[in-house]
C-alpha cells in the first residue's frame, strides 16, 4: 500500500504520518516538494511515487486573511484540489480529500448531515466547497471527509494558541455564540487510516469527535485540564464575548456541528467525546514539555 500525503507541514499530515500502519509506504510532501497549485508539479510527484491512495490535507486555512486574498485561497483549496484529483485519476489512485464544516452557513440548530445543502458565508468556505466539487467530479471513487475545529499537540491551532496565552498569563476573550465540535487531529488521522482500508467507501462524509461546544467552552476546558496536569500553575479564566464584540474579518457560521453518524457506523462505532480527546492532547503537550 503506497500512500501520498500532501500538506506535510500541517497538523493533520503530521498525525497521519505518526499513525501510519506498518503495511503502508508513505510519502508526505510539503508545498516546497509538491505545490498543488501547479498541475505539472503534482503530475510529476504523483507519477514518480505512483500511489494507491492520495490523502489531500494541503489547504489554505487562514479564514480571515482569505477575505482579502480570495485568489490565493481558491488557488490552493479549489484549483489545487482539482490538480490533485486529476493526477490521482491519471494513475488510478483513490483520493481522500479533507474539507471543512465551514461549507455550511450555520443557520441550523441540529447537526448537518453530509447531504445538507452547503451555503458558505466566507471565502474560505466557498473555496473549500469548490474543491470538494472538483474532487467528486474527477472520480466517483473519491472520498471527501468534512471535519472542523481541528487541533493537536503541535502546529498552529486553537488549543495551542490558548495554551500559549495561558502560560504567558494573558487575559483571554473567547467567543461564546459559535457552536462546533472540537476535533482531535490524532483521532481524525486514525479514522482516515481506517477509511483507507475501506476502498468502497466514497462520496461525502463527516468525521468529528463526540458532543459539541462553543469556543468559550473549549477554552475553559483547555484551562481546566492545563491546571489539572500542571502545565500552568494559575491563569485568569477566559472571558466570554459575542461574535460581534470579538470582531473578525470573516463571517463565521454560528452553528457548524457535523452529523458524523454514518461514517462512525462505517468505522465501527462513535469516537470518544471531545473532552476525552482533548485530555489526551493536553497530556501529550505536558509530556513533550517536561
- Interaxial angle between packed helices 158-167 and 215-228, expressed in degrees from 0 to 180 and rounded to the nearest 10: 50
pLDDT computed for residue 290 by the predictor:
78
- In this structure, are residues 258 and 208 in contact, taking their beta carbons and an 8 Å threshold? yes
Parse the chain into domains and list their residue ranges.
2-156+183-209+257-272
Q: What is the per-residue pLDDT across 121-178, written as a single tens digit (0 to 9) for each?
A: 999 999 999 999 999 999 989 999 999 999 999 999 999 999 999 999 998 999 999 9
Radius of gyration for the chain, computed over Cα atoms and rounded to the nearest angstrom: 19
Secondary-structure breakdown of the chain: helix, strand, coil percentages, each rounded to the nearest 5 = 45, 15, 40
Nearest to 59 by CA among 2, 19, 97: 97
pLDDT of 289 reads: 85
Regions of the chain with pLDDT less than 70: none
Strand partners, 112: 258
d(CA 133, CA 118): 11
Looking at residue 80, what DSSP letter applies? I
Q: Which of 216, 141, 160, 151 is nearest to 182 (CA)?
A: 151
CATH 3.40.50.720 fits 2-156+183-209+257-272, yes or no: yes
User: DSSP letters of 226-237?
Assistant: HHHTTS-S--PP
Burial 42-75 (b: 16+ CB within 10 A, else e): beebbeebebbbbbbbbbbbbbeebbeeeebbbb
Annotated catalytic residues are 124
pLDDT value at position 141? 93
What pLDDT score was predicted for residue 138? 94
Amino acid at each position: 500500500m503506497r500512500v501520498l500525503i500532501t500538506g506535510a507541514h500541517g497538523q493533520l499530515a503530521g498525525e497521519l504520518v505518526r499513525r501510519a500502519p506498518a503495511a503502508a509506504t508513505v510519502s508526505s510532501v510539503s508545498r516546497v516538494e509538491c505545490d498543488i497549485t501547479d498541475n505539472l508539479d503534482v503530475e510529476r510527484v504523483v507519477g514518480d511515487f505512483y500511489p494507491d491512495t492520495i490523502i489531500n490535507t494541503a489547504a489554505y486555512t487562514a479564514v480571515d486573511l482569505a477575505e482579502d486574498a480570495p485568489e490565493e485561497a481558491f488557488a490552493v483549496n479549489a484549483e489545487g484540489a482539482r490538480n490533485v484529483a486529476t493526477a490521482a485519476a491519471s494513475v488510478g489512485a483513490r483520493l481522500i480529500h479533507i474539507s471543512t464544516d465551514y461549507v455550511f452557513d450555520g443557520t441550523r440548530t441540529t447537526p448537518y448531515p453530509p447531504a445538507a445543502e452547503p451555503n458558505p458565508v466566507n471565502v474560505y468556505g466557498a473555496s473549500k466547497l469548490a474543491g470538494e466539487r472538483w474532487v467528486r467530479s474527477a472520480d466517483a471513487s473519491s472520498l471527501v471527509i468534512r471535519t472542523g475545529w481541528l487541533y493537536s499537540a503541535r502546529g498552529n491551532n486553537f488549543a495551542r494558541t490558548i495554551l500559549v496565552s495561558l502560560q504567558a498569563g494573558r487575559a483571554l476573550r473567547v467567543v461564546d455564540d459559535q457552536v462546533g465540535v472540537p476535533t482531535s487531529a490524532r483521532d481524525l488521522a486514525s479514522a482516515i487510516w481506517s477509511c483507507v482500508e475501506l476502498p468502497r467507501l466514497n462520496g461525502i462524509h463527516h468525521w468529528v469527535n463526540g458532543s459539541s461546544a462553543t469556543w468559550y467552552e473549549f477554552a475553559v476546558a483547555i484551562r481546566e485540564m492545563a491546571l489539572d496536569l500542571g502545565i500552568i500553575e494559575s491563569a485568569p479564566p477566559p472571558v466570554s464575548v459575542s461574535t460581534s464584540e470579538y470582531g473578525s474579518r470573516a463571517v463565521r457560521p454560528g452553528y457548524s456541528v457535523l452529523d458524523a453518524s454514518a461514517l462512525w457506523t462505517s468505522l465501527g462505532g462513535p469516537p470518544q467525546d471531545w473532552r476525552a480527546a482533548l485530555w489526551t492532547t493536553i497530556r501529550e503537550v505536558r509530556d513533550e514539555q517536561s
